[in-house]
Amino acid sequence: MTDLPPSNDRPFVHDPVLVDLVVELFHPVPAGTIVDATLGGAGHAATVLQSRPDLRVLGLDRDRNALAAAMARLAPFGDRAEAHHARFDQLATVVAEAGAASQPIVGVLFDLGVSSPQFDDGERGFSYRHDAPLDMRMDQGSGQSAADLVNTADEHDLAAILRRNADERFANRIARAIVRARPITTTAQLAEVVVTAIPAPARRKGGHPAKRTFQALRIHVNEELDVLPPALDAAIEVLAPGGRLVVISYHSGEDRIVKERLRRADDGGCTCPPGLPCGCGAVPEARLLKRGGWTPSSHEIATNPRAASARLRAVEKLPDPSLEDQP
């Protein structure tokens, strides 16, 4: 496994969502490498490796703390596991540089969003439940923090971020309040500004009033929706025939992107009217394993409440039709 930049000693423990279903979906794939594009604490990766001795895992994560925990958890698997500090839109580059092409890529897994340890570590600045520096970066060694964003973006841009990433109905009011309250440097300050900007009747329903604002800023800071489409396309591209792409999302914006990208792989981007034979020449790259996807059971939600919003979608890579007639 690769060396990592220094991390702190805070434990990174995360219960993987839909782990039994992930193992089930990867069970039929050929022997080869599974790319875990969001390795986290390696809960999914370790379970997959335990289930199939003929599989290895190539893991990516931008969070140094997560990678340190993953390396420890995957150490018993020896050279069957490899971890890299990288964002998941760098998937194709990591696969090429790691020499993983010597083994077929038979699976790619994305478990999107923020993990429980990231939320629970108040110092990371992801949650309004802890008073901490306003950061929200998954990779704290690079990029713009949430504090940078709320203290420099203009009111129009802030409102647009809140609407796009969280469907925040009071986006304009909140953005105006943020600009007036600057400088804002902590999560508690931001939460208070948001609460006071929202009308009193709306504060009494739908959970914490700042939930959507924190979600929207986190998604923007980490470019979560921007990097997802090319990452999904790259994942399908690197898969060997019969390999599977499995994606777990927790946010409607993420799921819309996943649904659209996987549907495009399934129909090849066909533009013909529904119900008619394809005449536009579209060539499907993959087949959907289920239309509509899977959601956690009531039992899993009871034991892990953060699984409640999860939705899993998956496709299987098809053979390249241009190669089928070759000797």
> Bigger pLDDT: 278 or 173?
173
> Bigger pLDDT: 38 or 305?
38
Query: What is the secondary structure of 41-78 as a DSSP string?
Result: TSHHHHHHHHH-TTEEEEEEES-HHHHHHHHHHHGGGG
Residue 236 scores a pLDDT above 90: yes
The Cα 60–Cα 67 span in angstroms is 8
Averaged over 29-37, what is the pLDDT?
Answer: 97
Q: How far is CA 257 from the centre of its chain?
A: 11
- Global pTM reads 0.89
| Span 277-314, pLDDT tens digits | 888 888 999 999 999 999 999 999 999 888 999 999 99
Mean pLDDT of the chain: 89
**Residue 53 burial by Cβ neighbours in a 10 Å radius (0-12, 13-18, 19+):** exposed
Confidence of residue 7 (pLDDT cuts 50, 70, 90): very low
| Span 116-158, pLDDT tens digits | 666 555 567 678 777 889 999 988 877 899 999 999 999 999 9
Confidence of residue 4 (pLDDT cuts 50, 70, 90): very low
247 phi, psi to nearest 5 deg:
-130, 125
Residue 26 scores a pLDDT above 60: yes
CB 123 within 8 A of CB 132: yes
Distances (CA, A) of 220 to 151, 291, 303, 327: 14, 29, 30, 49
82 phi, psi to nearest 5 deg:
-145, 140
| 313 three-class SS | strand
Confidence (pLDDT) at 149:
97
Give residue for tokens 């496994």: 1
